[in-house]
């Protein structure tokens, strides 16, 4: 099902003409209205008129999160305060917050981007969606909410928390689609089962638009089985736009980027040179239509790749792969580069182990020490010491054989690791001198 078929199936030649036209206007606009970009372009020796093709964008400098922090609070706004309809910002827990503003048109575009993927998930004006992302300065809740309203859906604005009520209302209100993080969807499913429901049989819900954190294939299957739904991975980031920048269609074969509004590049994070389609690298976005907080070549730190070939769904927008990790989340364990998502893939390959886990980073002498906490599934005989010890050895061996890392594994009883009502806390960094 298409929400805006004339855009979502636009021939590539027409789409690229639209992108180039918008890119030319964007570069001229930010040069004239945002002092940071005038200074940045002048320093790099480029001018707005240098954009004659989409490839010319590669001549222009990148924008980083630190640039946004340095511009706190409103120095990256391209409109006056009288045109700012809403402001979102990051938590600022690791530094000055990044501030992003939206005009009314920006919010309409955001809502339409999310609505496209609600339609892909077979949710239209006859559907009810339950938004269990956090509301407030975090972009998830309000982004999904506006997407639901733009799509004509009935919106249930639950936000996070009160998980038993989430499960009960999902059942009682005959919700069609759940919007939240993957870890919270799994939490809701487990709580519903504990309450005596059989969600896969008793709930009407058929789709989950889940994002804001990585989700392994095994975790996706676990959610789909327990809730009886199809999971759609959605991507967004507060600096560019909340959820809706890209999302999977019903084919679940990559996330279609809303290319009428965003130019996507993938670059080598070391050389910052573009990599060929199909190769992994750091994702870079340029916002083609944002009025308040436009960005040129924003380095997301997310690792993905462009999937080649056409999608069977008929959409012509290019697809990016699911996020493999972040350059700033990458751990170096005894000289080996490892992402949490790689560790998760090994964990969920063991049917005796639940999808919940935490990585505890400490220091021992001059070396980083990694402890991995995992839970057994509820029916595992936790009091059988030999079996428990063998499971621990098998997981440690799998991590060593497949990832070439030595990790201390600690297996704990079910429900020991704190459940998430938003983004799961996967890494607890207790290393000395880093806080």
Domain ranges of the chain: 1-327, 331-429
* C-alpha to C-alpha distance for 100 and 293, rounded to whole angstroms: 6
When pLDDT is cut at 50, 70 and 90, the band that residue 367 belongs to is low
| CATH 3.40.50.2300 at 1-327, yes or no | no
371 phi/psi in degrees, rounded to 5: -115, 130
pLDDT at 395: 94
CA torsion sign for 290, 293, 114, 233 is positive
360 pLDDT more than 70: yes
CATH superfamily for domain 331-429: ANL, C-terminal domain (3.30.300.30)
pLDDT at 111: 98
When pLDDT is cut at 50, 70 and 90, the band that residue 71 belongs to is very high
The number of angstroms, rounded, from the C-alpha of 253 to the middle of its chain's C-alpha atoms is 16
The strand pairing partners of 307, in sequence order, are 319
Give the per-residue SS3 of 281-347.
EEEEEEECCCCCCCCCCEEEEEEECEECCCCCCCCCCCEECCCCEECCCCEEECCEEECHHHHHHHH
* Least-confidence region, from 88-97, 142-151, 412-421: 88-97
Query: What mean pLDDT comes out for the span 215-226?
Result: 90
How do beta strands 154-157 and 128-131 pair? parallel
DSSP state of 375: E
When pLDDT is cut at 50, 70 and 90, the band that residue 93 belongs to is low
Chain segment 6-21, per-residue pLDDT in tens: 999 999 999 999 999 9
The strand pairing partners of 264, in sequence order, are 285
Q: What is the pTM of this model?
A: 0.84
37 pLDDT more than 90: yes
């Amino acid at each position: 099902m298409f929400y805006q078929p004339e855009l979502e199936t636009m021939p590539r030649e027409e789409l690229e003409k639209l992108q180039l036209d918008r890119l030319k206007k964007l570069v001229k606009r930010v040069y004239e209205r945002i002092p940071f970009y005038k200074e940045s372009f002048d320093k790099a020796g480029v001018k707005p008129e240098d954009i004659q093709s989409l490839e010319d964008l590669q001549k222009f400098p990148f924008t980083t999160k630190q640039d946004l922090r340095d511009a706190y609070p409103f120095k990256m706004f391209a409109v006056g305060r009288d045109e700012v309809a809403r402001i979102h910002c990051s938590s600022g827990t690791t530094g000055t917050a990044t501030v992003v503003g939206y005009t009314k048109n920006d919010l309409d575009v955001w809502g339409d981007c999310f609505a496209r993927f609600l339609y892909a998930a077979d949710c239209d004006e006859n559907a009810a969606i339950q938004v269990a992302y956090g509301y407030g300065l975090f972009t998830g809740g309000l982004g999904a909410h506006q997407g639901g309203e733009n799509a004509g859906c009935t919106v249930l604005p639950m936000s996070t928390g009160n998980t038993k009520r989430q499960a009960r209302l999902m059942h009682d209100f005959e919700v069609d689609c759940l919007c939240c993080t993957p870890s919270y969807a799994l939490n809701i499913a487990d709580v519903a089962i504990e309450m005596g429901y059989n969600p896969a049989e008793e709930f009407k819900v058929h789709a989950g638009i889940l994002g804001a954190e990585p989700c392994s294939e095994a975790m996706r299957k676990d959610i789909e089985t327990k809730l009886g739904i199809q999971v759609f991975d959605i991507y967004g980031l507060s600096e560019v736009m909340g959820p809706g920048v890209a999302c999977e269609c019903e084919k679940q074969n990559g996330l279609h980027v809303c290319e009428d509004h965003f130019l996507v590049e993938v670059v080598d994070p070391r050389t910052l040179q573009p990599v060929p389609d199909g190769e992994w690298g750091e994702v870079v976005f340029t916002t083609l239509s944002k009025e308040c907080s436009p960005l040129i070549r924003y380095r997301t730190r997310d690792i993905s790749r462009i999937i080649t070939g056409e999608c069977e769904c008929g959409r012509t927008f290019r697809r990016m792969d699911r996020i493999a990790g972040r350059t700033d989340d990458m751990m170096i364990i005894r000289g080996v580069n490892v992402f949490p998502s790689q560790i998760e893939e090994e964990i969920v390959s063991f049917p005796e182990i639940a999808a919940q886990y935490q990585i505890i980073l400490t220091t021992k002498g001059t070396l980083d020490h990694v402890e991995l906490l995992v839970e057994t599934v509820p029916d595992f005989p936790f009091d059988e010491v030999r079996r428990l010890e063998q499971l621990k050895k098998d997981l440690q061996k799998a991590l060593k054989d497949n990832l070439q890392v030595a990790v201390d594994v600690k297996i704990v009883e079910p429900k020991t690791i704190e459940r998430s009502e938003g983004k799961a806390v996967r890494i607890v960094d207790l290393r000395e001198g880093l806080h």
